[in-house]
Amino acid sequence: IKPVNASVMFNTIMEVFDKDVDRGPRIRAKQESEKDTLKTIKGASVLLVEDNEINQQVAREILSDAGLEVTLANDGQEAVDAVQQNKFDAVLMDIQMPVMDGYTATREIRNLKSEIRNVPVIAMTAHAMTGDREKSIQAGMNDHVAKPIDPEALFTTLLKWIQRPADRENDQLPETETSKSSKVEDSDRSPLPFQADGNDDLPPSLAGFDLAAGLKRLQGNRRLYRKLLLDFANGYREASENIHHALIANDINQVHSLVHNIKGLAGNLSATDLQNAAAEMDSSVKKALSGEKLMPGQLESNLSAVKKALEEALASCQTLERSNNKKAGVTSGGSSVSMPPDLARQTAGQLLAAVDMGDITDLKSIAEALKSKSESYTAFSEKITHLAENFDFDGIKQLADELESHK
């Protein structure tokens, strides 16, 4: 049924994948029709082009939880390479990226000489102005979805553009080993219940964040949300200082890039105060880039607001980190396992490969395989499982480094 009602479609998606959602009254026939529509795109292959790791995880969670196969590209050049190696049903393309931006990448794709050039490309960016939408279309993009990601709008747009042939599986190009390793396994993407279960380490509220909105965006996956907040706390401590240095150097393009990145990230994490402050500064920077004269000290004032909101958000996330460190049980460091050097190196390689794919299922399988080899590996196996279930890829990398150091 078209046009697809976003709210009805979102509730239908939640029902198909057994999510608890307050649906309210609805017409049964329409509900069944929407279910059938969703099922026809389950298993579709989507190329996600995004340079920010946290934003990647947010988008991947939303897409893969709906049964879509997701391949990641970190910039426009990787996207152009990927579409020539594998068949995709749609491309979600960020705009501002290093190496090659989304506009250029889309033009490159449209200039390819095979049917690959016709793949639907959907702009995915914090740009929301009419002019930005027109620029996306002129570059050859088919449509536009805004950041922060709204699952309802995203699915509605994908349903509009993804073709639904009955023989999609037979219409795929042969998969390379790279493409196989990049895809997210459906079996690992089921989110945790929305209700607190005692193991998610998320408080009822967190200063500077709209936790309800953040959890909704991540389909209720509390554990992943906590992991992303901790990643944010660890990776953005110097963000305001970096903006300050760029501002002193009068590098307005760099200021714009840094502020734009924080605005999009804050939106996806539902860091509302930070998002609003960054949006205000982003608007001022755009005016400066266009040659418009600003009030004296305008950018400095904007930066002060961003810094204040960022410090509050980081402080809130660090309370999660302290809670995580106090939690009884396995920690990320100190494997202290005795293992033959060959097995240690082999296991380290397997762990790093699984981390590169973001494959929790594979990490758990590695842990189980170790446990089956010897009871002496049980504690180490449980450590891997714990880290995997908490999306602590840095902790797993640390274990792999320790294993590789075995002589």
Sign of the four-CA dihedral 28, 34, 40, 41: negative
Residue 324, pLDDT score: 57
CA dihedral 342, 343, 346, 352 (to 10 degrees): -130
3-state secondary structure of 45: strand
The per-residue pLDDT for 32 is 53
* CATH code for the structural domain at 211-326: 1.20.120.160
Cβ atoms of 1 and 37 closer than 8 Å: yes
How far apart CA 197 and CA 220 sit, in angstroms, is 12
**Cα 96 to Cα 261: distance, rounded to the nearest angstrom:** 9
Residue 80: predicted pLDDT: 97
Q: Chunked in runs of 10, what are the mean pLDDT values of the chain (407 residues)?
A: 48 50 46 59 93 92 88 96 95 94 96 92 75 82 90 90 65 40 35 38 90 92 90 91 96 94 94 97 94 94 97 91 51 59 89 84 89 86 85 85 75
User: Residue 169: its pLDDT value, please?
Assistant: 52
Q: Looking at residue 184, what is its pLDDT? A: 34
For 63, the 3-state DSSP assignment is helix
Whole-angstrom distance, CA of residue 332 vs CA of residue 386: 9
CATH 3.40.50.9100 fits 6-184, yes or no: no
Please answer whether residues 119 and 88 qualify as being in contact, where contact means their C-beta atoms are separated by less than 8 angstroms: yes
Taking alpha carbons only, the member of 284, 258, 263 closest to residue 275 is 263
pLDDT of the residue at 355: 87
* C-alpha–C-alpha distance, residues 273 and 276, integer Å: 5
Q: Which two tokens stand for residue 133?
A: 């939408």
Residues 6 or more apart whose Cβ sits within 8 Å of residue 103: 95, 135, 136, 139
Confidence at residue 101, expressed as pLDDT on a 0 to 100 scale: 95
Write down the residue that tokens 């193991």 correspond to.
Answer: 199
For residue 98, is the peptide bond before it cis, meaning its omega torsion is within 30 degrees of 0? Answer: no
pLDDT at residue 188, rounded to an integer: 34
d(CA 104, CA 83): 14
pLDDT of residue 27: 40
Domain positions in the chain are 6-184, 211-326, 341-404
